[in-house]
């Protein structure tokens, strides 16, 4: 056991994934989450390319596949429901528009939590209130009044990261709005939806329905252009009012889907944005996932960046003997190009949807897409167990040559 004490802020995907790897390296891990529990539902997230290998190395391939939406593909439809275009889940070797491994964000979060909960200290309904670091550690005061000292603190608390604001500065320095807003919420499946996602687009807006594992329900999806975004991301009623206002007059089945807005238990709305930072660490504090390098849902790779980043961050720290300067530097060096490729994909997709693209902008080149999906070689860290190692157990294998 390393005896290293690590605090991770955020229990969605990046946080529990990092906890998984840190625990296997022998660290003592605490995850603090301001919500009272795991958030259900949410958008469907994909595992493509190198991300699938990370899941395999975690030993979670079977569990993740068992929780898939099992979406067969997507139909782009007109206002009368006629199919205009079709994309299949097995296109491009399972790495296409609809990924072979597609899972609701909340379901993936549950898989990761269930596989780490016995070896990780989860603190729900709490948050970091104050943080002070020195050369040897970090003193943390929680909102509950609890005080603890850690060797390292990692912020995996999303686009609106409170830890990022506390350590690196206000969100305006780092968050780049891409001109879109998106919303998700589950609805009764009264639309005859089977295993196919339906997507309707009109005047820069989109409405859609996607299948989920519970065939009696479906996930509603909306996007609309917005030059700016000033609605409080925690004010649900204001968000619902904004969605109704911006989707007024939308064709297809949009009015029927919107009629379920007030009945949904899992409504979510937020801006489509990226986080761009010169550094993802400061002293003994570092950032991971959307908190550090959100590529936006338009990239289709936000979850992949979180999972790959968790593997690299834990591995680089362990390889550096838990020295934060060397470990964080190695993590950034390995991740930076992969992040930049996925952020470029996200920007191109957003520009296409809002109609601001120009002929001088980069095209969706095969090289860029390949770099965004597979453009990172996963190192085999000394002592890294194979996929047969029990998830959540500390590493005990001897170092590889």
Do 293 and 358 reside in the same domain of the chain?
A: yes
Do 238 and 123 reside in the same domain of the chain?
A: no
Distance CA 90, CA 97 (A): 10
Residues 194/206/302/233 CA torsion (nearest 10 deg): -110
pLDDT of residue 328: 98
Nearest to 244 by CA among 228, 260, 265: 260
In angstroms, what CA-CA distances link 307 with 2, 42, 82, 273, 383?
22, 17, 37, 19, 20
Nearest to 12 by CA among 159, 209, 143: 159
- Domain end (from 224, 255, 272): 272
Within-domain flag for 64: yes
- Domain end (from 272, 304, 333): 272
Distance CA 318, CA 234 (A): 37
Q: How many CB atoms lie within 10 A of CB 245?
A: 9
Beta bridge partners of 196: 73
Burial class (CB in 10 A: 0-12, 13-18, 19+), 360: exposed
Range of the domain at 244: 177-272
pLDDT of residue 2: 65
Do 111 and 182 reside in the same domain of the chain?
A: no
Do 147 and 195 reside in the same domain of the chain?
A: no
- Domain end (from 229, 257, 272): 272
> Any idea what the CATH number is for the domain that residue 350 is in?
3.50.50.60
Instruction: Scan for tokens 């680089």, then name that residue.
Output: 316
Q: Are 328 and 6 in contact (CB under 8 A)?
A: no
Within-domain flag for 384: no
Distance CA 182, CA 222 (A): 6
Within-domain flag for 20: yes
pLDDT of residue 234: 80
Q: Are 327 and 334 in contact (CB under 8 A)?
A: no
3-state helix vs strand vs coil in the chain, percent to 5: 35, 25, 40
Q: Are 207 and 247 in contact (CB under 8 A)?
A: yes
Within-domain flag for 392: no
Within-domain flag for 400: no
Nearest to 184 by CA among 92, 257, 282, 276: 257
265's tokens = 């238990």
Within-domain flag for 98: no
Per-residue pLDDT of the chain (401 residues; tens, 9 = 90+): 468 999 999 999 999 999 999 999 999 999 999 999 998 776 777 778 899 999 999 999 999 888 877 778 889 999 999 999 998 877 766 555 666 677 778 889 999 999 999 999 999 999 999 999 999 999 999 999 999 999 999 999 999 999 999 999 999 999 999 999 999 999 999 998 888 999 999 888 999 998 888 889 999 999 999 988 877 878 899 999 999 999 999 999 999 999 999 988 889 999 999 999 999 999 999 999 999 999 998 888 888 999 999 999 999 999 999 999 999 999 999 999 999 999 999 999 888 887 754 444 446 788 888 888 888 999 999 776 543 344 444 443 333 32
CA of residue 14 relative to chain centroid, distance? 7
Do 139 and 239 reside in the same domain of the chain?
A: no
Do 192 and 297 reside in the same domain of the chain?
A: no
Q: Are 220 and 186 in contact (CB under 8 A)?
A: yes
- Backbone phi, then psi, for 364, in 5-degree steps? -80, 75
DSSP code, position 298: G
Q: Assign 136 to helix, strand or coil.
A: coil
Distance CA 167, CA 335 (A): 21
Distance CA 65, CA 48 (A): 13
- Give the global pTM: 0.88
295's tokens = 């590529």
Within-domain flag for 386: no
Q: Are 368 and 362 in contact (CB under 8 A)?
A: yes
Do 196 and 253 reside in the same domain of the chain?
A: yes
> Any idea what the CATH number is for the domain that residue 201 is in?
3.30.9.30
Q: How many CB atoms lie within 10 A of CB 380?
A: 11
pLDDT of residue 229: 82
Do 9 and 141 reside in the same domain of the chain?
A: yes
Q: Calculate ∠ Cα 306-113-24, nearest 5°.
A: 75
pLDDT of residue 92: 67
Do 312 and 331 reside in the same domain of the chain?
A: yes
Total domains in the chain come to 2
Do 290 and 323 reside in the same domain of the chain?
A: yes
Residues 6+ apart with CB under 8 A from 175: 159, 273, 274, 275, 294
Q: How many CB atoms lie within 10 A of CB 3?
A: 9
Do 32 and 18 reside in the same domain of the chain?
A: yes
Do 208 and 349 reside in the same domain of the chain?
A: no
Within-domain flag for 77: no
Element (H, E) at 64: helix 61-66
């Amino acid at each position: 056991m390393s005896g290293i004490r690590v605090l991770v802020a955020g229990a969605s995907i990046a946080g529990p994934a990092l906890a998984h790897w840190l625990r296997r390296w022998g660290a003592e891990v605490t995850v603090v989450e301001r919500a009272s529990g795991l958030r259900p539902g949410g958008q469907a997230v994909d595992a493509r390319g190198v991300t699938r290998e990370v899941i395999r190395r975690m030993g979670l391939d079977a569990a993740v596949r068992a929780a898939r939406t099992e979406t067969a593909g997507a139909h782009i439809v007109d206002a009368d429901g006629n199919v205009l275009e079709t994309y299949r889940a097995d296109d491009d070797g399972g790495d296409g528009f609809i990924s072979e491994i597609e899972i609701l964000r909340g379901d993936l979060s549950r898989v990761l939590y269930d596989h780490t909960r016995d070896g990780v200290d989860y603190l729900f309904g709490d948050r970091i209130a104050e943080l002070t670091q020195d050369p040897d550690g970090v003193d943390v005061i929680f909102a509950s009044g609890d005080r603890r000292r850690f060797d390292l603190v990692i912020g995996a608390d999303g686009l609106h990261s409170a830890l990022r604001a506390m350590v690196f500065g206000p969100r305006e320095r780092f968050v780049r709005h891409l001109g879109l807003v998106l919303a998700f919420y589950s609805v009764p499946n009264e639309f005859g939806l089977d295993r196919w996602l339906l997507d309707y687009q009109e005047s820069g807006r989109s409405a859609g329905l996607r299948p989920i594992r519970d065939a009696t329900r479906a996930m509603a999806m909306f996007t609309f252009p917005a030059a700016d975004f000033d609605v409080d991301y925690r004010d649900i009623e204001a968000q619902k009012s904004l969605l109704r206002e911006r989707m007024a007059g939308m064709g297809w089945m949009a009015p029927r889907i919107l009629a379920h807005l007030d009945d949904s238990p899992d409504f979510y709305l937020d801006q489509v944005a990226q986080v761009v930072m010169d550094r993802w660490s400061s002293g003994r504090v570092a950032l991971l996932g959307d908190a550090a390098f959100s590529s936006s849902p338009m990239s289709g790779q936000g979850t992949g960046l979180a999972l790959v980043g968790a593997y690299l961050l834990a591995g680089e720290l362990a390889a550096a003997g838990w020295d934060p300067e060397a470990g964080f530097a190695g993590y950034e060096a390995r991740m930076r190009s992969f992040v930049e490729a996925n952020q470029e994909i996200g920007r191109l997709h957003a520009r296409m949807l809002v109609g601001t693209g120009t002929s001088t902008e980069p095209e969706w080149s095969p090289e860029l897409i390949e770099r965004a999906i597979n453009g990172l070689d996963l190192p085999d860290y000394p002592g890294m167990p194979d996929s047969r190692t029990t998830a959540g157990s500390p590493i005990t294998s001897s170092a590889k040559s």
